[in-house]
Amino acid sequence: MDLLSNLALGLSTAASLDNLFYCFVGAAIGTFVGVLPGIGPTATIAMLLPITYYLTPTASLIMLAGIYYGSMYGGSTSAILVNLPGEVSSSVTALDGYQMARQGKAGKALAIAAIGSFVAGTLATCVIALVAVPMTSIALKFGSTEYFALILLGLATSTALAHGSVLKAMAMIVTGMLFGIVGTDVDSGAFRFTLSIVDLTDGLGIVAVALGIFGIAEVLRNLENMPENASGAATITSLMPDREDLRASIGPILRGSALGSILGALPGGGSILSAFSAYVLEKRLSRHPERFGKGAIEGVAGPESANNAGAQTSFIPMLTLGIPSHPLMALMIGALMIQGITPGPNVVNARPELFWGVIASMWIGNVMLVILNLPLVGLWVAMLKIPYRILLPMIVAFSMVGVFTVGNSGFDVLLLAIFGLFGYFFSKLGCEPAPFLMGFVLGALLEEHLRRALVFSGGDPGVFFTEPISAGLLLVTAVILAIVAFPMIARRRKQIFSEET
């Protein structure tokens, strides 16, 4: 009955007036940036990190979480109505959702997407509540050897999911790690790569780096080819799906939720992989696979449920192990660190109201999102008409002010410009920013655990292979890398990712 009392604690925390308010703000902002193409949740969260400084840790995490899963709802709205997926993971929804809209079934597609997301969100919340405590008790037994292996596994899976060349993704991770260890070495106090600049002795600020390579670099990329705004939005007629639609969707929704919950919890996983896998699964299982891509309701229900479930369960590694599964979670860790909380297995015991409050808020947030997205869908469609030429100066202005206020330093704003150019330059070379940020966040942690593990083993690297848990994790890492490198699967992977563009 421990679980029930925990959930009760969470619900009472999340239902406080303040936290309800921030949950709503997060969900609304999330829907907004999810609807808009050209600005994603990662950049938004980086922009809002400075504001979270003034909130309680629980409220800030509740709001940031709301932005993340809110953007999943919003992304599907623009994917269905105008075939412009606001988020990468909604691009799967666009395949069949937009076709449904063209056949005059836009309302049904939106409703099924929202219902699917809600069911998935509810189930994923239960999964987190059930899995988190056992996970943390395992994690508390982990030593540096296991953590080292675990971080490597997370990095390997994140390359497996990067678009484009795996080699480049791995090189970006290592580059990120090198930039991540700029500053004072905690162990010896030596300055590393500080170029005699005093501002660099504390290291590069994560907000400046993340906003640079995600926010500003994205702005520069969009200048090449300005995102169109929605001129031909499909009109919404009936929002109510009939019984036939519901019956066709119930299976895909449940399967998508299950698949998304599992894939989301993997290190490196999350909503994108979940959505693609659910689409492929539904197409396989369907008795009429030829209808997919032509407005099959299953092709909306499955991926939409999966991406929402995956988005939520990807909090599990962050909350229980302190290891982010993707860049967005890395920023959440940044938000907690600003507040003086080191995420990890201790959070559940030391700050139960934070832990359970965030989990319970996800469910409340999902209820709010259904209300925000179905009756108010017209409002978001109107938002879609904001042209990018107006959005662009807004993004730049908020990024600058945000970076300045979080560090109270003009130097950090210069870093924002530098990393913006850096991110743009690398995107021109076909290198993604996500692995860079993963390496940036995890580099120092990896070094610390490598150091400690080797101190205990007397400098023998064999310890990683003789300790059973770390050996197992490294084996999985090796298998993942082998799969990615294996040409046949690599081709198949390319095929899946190319459907998205």
Partner 1 sequence: MAVNPRDLVAGIVFIVIGAAFGGNAWLTLRLGEANAMGPGYFPVLLGLILVGFGGAIVFSSVGKPRETFGIVPWQGIALVTAAIVFFALTVRGLGMAPSLGIATFIAAQASGRLSLPGSLLLAVGLTAFCVVMFIYALRLPYPVIGSWLRF
Q: Which of 421, 469, 471, 496 binds partner 1 (CB under 8 A)?
A: 421
* Number of residues located near partner 1, criterion CB under 8 A: 63
* 424 near partner 1 (CB under 8 A): yes
* 413 near partner 1 (CB under 8 A): yes
* 457 near partner 1 (CB under 8 A): yes
Range 6-65, binding partner 1 (CB under 8 A): 51, 54
* 198 near partner 1 (CB under 8 A): no
* 394 near partner 1 (CB under 8 A): yes
Nearest to 479 by CA among 471, 68, 288, 134: 471
* 100 near partner 1 (CB under 8 A): no
Q: Which of 134, 289, 375, 461 binds partner 1 (CB under 8 A)?
A: 461
Q: Which residues contact 135 (CB under 8 A, 6 or more apart)?
A: 316, 320, 321, 345
Q: Which of 199, 353, 447, 500 binds partner 1 (CB under 8 A)?
A: 447
* 375 near partner 1 (CB under 8 A): no
Nearest to 43 by CA among 204, 268, 224, 209: 209
Is the CB of 12 or the CB of 405 nearer to partner 1? 405
Q: Are 299 and 80 in contact (CB under 8 A)?
A: no
Q: Which of 1, 17, 429, 488 binds partner 1 (CB under 8 A)?
A: 429
Among the listed ranges 32-40, 74-82, 181-189, 371-379, the one in contact with partner 1 (CB under 8 A) is 181-189
Is the CB of 150 or the CB of 170 nearer to partner 1? 170
* 351 near partner 1 (CB under 8 A): no
Nearest to 309 by CA among 346, 227, 254: 254
- Eight-state DSSP code of residue 457: T
Q: Which of 8, 285, 382, 414 binds partner 1 (CB under 8 A)?
A: 414
Is the CB of 4 or the CB of 231 nearer to partner 1? 231
Cα four-point dihedral sign 265, 268, 271, 274: negative
Q: Which of 420, 423, 433, 435 binds partner 1 (CB under 8 A)?
A: 420
Measured from the CB of residue 499, what is the shortest distance to partner 1 in angstroms?
A: 20
* 170 near partner 1 (CB under 8 A): yes
Q: Are 76 and 275 in contact (CB under 8 A)?
A: no
Nearest to 66 by CA among 27, 29, 32: 27
* 1 near partner 1 (CB under 8 A): no
Phi–psi pair at 184, nearest 5 degrees: -90, 130
Is the CB of 163 or the CB of 192 nearer to partner 1? 192
* 202 near partner 1 (CB under 8 A): no
Cα–Cα distance list, 344 to 9, 268, 315, 321, 412 (Å) = 20, 17, 12, 5, 28
DSSP symbols for 152-180: HHHHHHHHHTSSS-HHHHHHHHHHHHHHH
Is the CB of 346 or the CB of 405 nearer to partner 1? 405
Exposure string for 108-133, b = 16+ CB within 10 A, e = fewer: bbbbbbbbbbbbbbbbbbebbbeebe
Q: What angle do CA 398, 403, 406 make, to 5 degrees?
A: 120
d(CA 321, CA 78): 34
Among the listed ranges 71-79, 300-308, 396-404, 476-484, the one in contact with partner 1 (CB under 8 A) is 396-404
- Eight-state DSSP code of residue 191: E
d(CA 105, CA 296): 11
Is the CB of 394 or the CB of 489 nearer to partner 1? 394
Is the CB of 170 or the CB of 368 nearer to partner 1? 170
Contact set with partner 1 (CB under 8 A):
51, 54, 165, 167-168, 170-171, 174-175, 177-178, 181, 185, 187-188, 190, 192-193, 216, 219-220, 223-224, 226, 388-390, 392-394, 396-401, 404-405, 410-411, 413-414, 416-417, 420-421, 424, 426, 428-431, 443, 447, 450-451, 454-455, 457-461
